[in-house]
């Protein structure tokens, strides 16, 4: 596994799953149970897909952002503020999200 992104460790734990990039509401249907949600930032209408995800990675946001707060409530790992997750990760990539270290790995 190699490190693909670093950001702010916003919710602890580790999870592996397939990346699903969500930029608009039309992308919601891509997310299934156990995926890693990748988005620029989250908003309240995305809670329904956040509850399906095993981990969350965002481009923007800090510990007080919506993604961070919801992930902590759900007990799933979350890395925020990576600045470029939606640009360098592609759909279906197998990822490991380390919410303790704020690091995202791609599986070899």
Which listed residue (1, 3, 62, 91) binds other proteins by CB under 8 A?
Answer: 62
Nearest to 55 by CA among 108, 86, 10: 10
101 labelled catalytic: no
| Residue 66 found at the interface with other proteins (CB under 8 A) | yes
User: Cβ distance 53 to 35 under 8 Å?
Assistant: yes
| Residue 16 found at the interface with other proteins (CB under 8 A) | no
| Residue 70 found at the interface with other proteins (CB under 8 A) | yes
| Residue 75 found at the interface with other proteins (CB under 8 A) | yes
- Interaction with other proteins in 36-55: which residues (CB under 8 A)? 41, 43-45, 47-48, 50-51
Which listed residue (6, 16, 27, 74) binds other proteins by CB under 8 A?
Answer: 74
**Residues contributing to the site for other proteins (CB under 8 A):** 12-13, 25, 41, 43-45, 47-48, 50-51, 58, 60-67, 69-70, 72-75, 80-81
């Amino acid at each position: 596994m190699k490190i693909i992104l670093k950001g702010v460790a916003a919710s602890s734990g580790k999870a592996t799953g397939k990346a699903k990039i969500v930029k608009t509401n039309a992308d919601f249907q891509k997310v299934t149970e156990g995926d890693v949600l990748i988005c620029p930032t989250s908003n309240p209408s995305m809670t329904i897909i956040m509850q399906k995800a095993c981990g969350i990675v965002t481009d923007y946001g800090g510990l007080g952002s919506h993604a961070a707060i919801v992930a902590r409530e759900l007990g799933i790992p979350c890395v925020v503020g990576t600045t470029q997750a939606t640009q360098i990760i592609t759909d279906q990539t197998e990822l490991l999200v380390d919410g303790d270290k704020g690091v995202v790995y791609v599986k070899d």
